[in-house]
Amino acid sequence: MPASRSSCASSVAGSRVSTRTIWSQARRCSGVSQRGVFEAGVTPPIYLTLEPIAPSLRTESSNLNYLEAVMRVAIIGAGNVGAGLAEAATTAGHEVTVVAAHQENAVEVAGNVGAKAAATAAEAAQGADVVVLAVPAGAAAGVLREVKGAGAVVVDATNPLNDTFSDLTTGGTSHAEQLAAGAPGVKLVKAFNTVFASRLGAPSEDGRPLDGFYAGDDDAAKQVAADLLASLGFRPVDAGSLRMARSLEELAFLNISLNARNGWTWQSGWRLAGPTA
């Protein structure tokens, strides 16, 4: 049974504790499972639908409104995805640092959303709980070399599109697997790549959260990615090992292709729907 609201609120009031502790408290208080932060009893569905184009306002679980889950998030990249993540993460109450190839871009994004700007990726990653690679796929390996010594969980949000956006540059593997192979020991998780920048601040449709898929080989690192997704309003969906990043990159490519070919407005998002039993 979920704990009482008063006991949960008093247990975290007036203090900042670790992200894992606070989300563990959230799960205890709301009665949700390890992978979810929404109402108890909701089961993950089994078929895939592409949600309508019109964005919706974020929905928050009433059980979690009084909890403050703070992560130190380093976002590498200040383009559409990096800026969107920075805004969504600061809005969620996280401590965000932004860095970009051109520092003036990082300064601008940080100033717009209430984050901090760093001069280098290594500086941004220092002390971070999670580092998000929101750069072009071709630049990701170089950035990873800069941040791998920080010990943070690294989230690969990239998609390896070719120059004409007509295909992926990978074959028989994923970009995430290639990054991991080139940086042994790094706790890497594929996440956020299936979410358009336009939906990072609008993670629900028709009052229901969109899905945030993630994949990786380190369970603790995956939980950090799941917690970040949940805190931004998405329903975290564990896709499995890092091998499944191949599917997530193809899923992102499908959504990109649909929007480009059909003249959609780049606001569609994925949600699994239907019973699992």
For residue 262, the tally of other CB atoms under 10 A from its CB is: 8
Tell whether 2 is covered by a domain: no
For residue 258, the tally of other CB atoms under 10 A from its CB is: 12
CATH number of the domain where residue 130 is located: 3.40.50.720
Tell whether 80 is covered by a domain: yes
The confidence score (pLDDT) of residue 13 equals 38
* 13 vs 127: CA distance, rounded Å: 24
The confidence score (pLDDT) of residue 111 equals 98
3-class secondary-structure state, position 177: helix
Tell whether 31 is covered by a domain: no
The confidence score (pLDDT) of residue 69 equals 73
The residue segments making up the domain with residue 84 are: 43-273
Tell whether 216 is covered by a domain: yes
* Residue with tokens 């956020």, as numbered in its chain: 192
- The whole-model pTM stands at 0.78
Tell whether 8 is covered by a domain: no
Total number of domains constituting the chain: 1
Q: Residues 29, 34, 36, CA angle at the centre, nearest 5°?
A: 80
The confidence score (pLDDT) of residue 50 equals 57
Contact in structure between 176 and 239 (CB atoms under 8 Å) = no
The confidence score (pLDDT) of residue 117 equals 98
- What phi and psi values does residue 47 have, to the nearest 5 degrees? -125, 160
| Blockwise average pLDDT, block size 10, the chain, 277 residues | 41 39 41 32 42 38 45 98 98 98 98 98 98 98 97 98 96 97 97 98 97 98 98 97 98 98 97 87
Tell whether 185 is covered by a domain: yes
Q: Residues 184, 187, 190, CA angle at the centre, nearest 5°?
A: 110
The confidence score (pLDDT) of residue 23 equals 39
Tell whether 155 is covered by a domain: yes
Partnered with residue 215 across adjacent β-strands are 190, 240
Tell whether 210 is covered by a domain: yes
Residues near 87 by Cβ (< 8 Å), separated by ≥ 6? 112, 113, 200, 201
Contact in structure between 43 and 276 (CB atoms under 8 Å) = yes
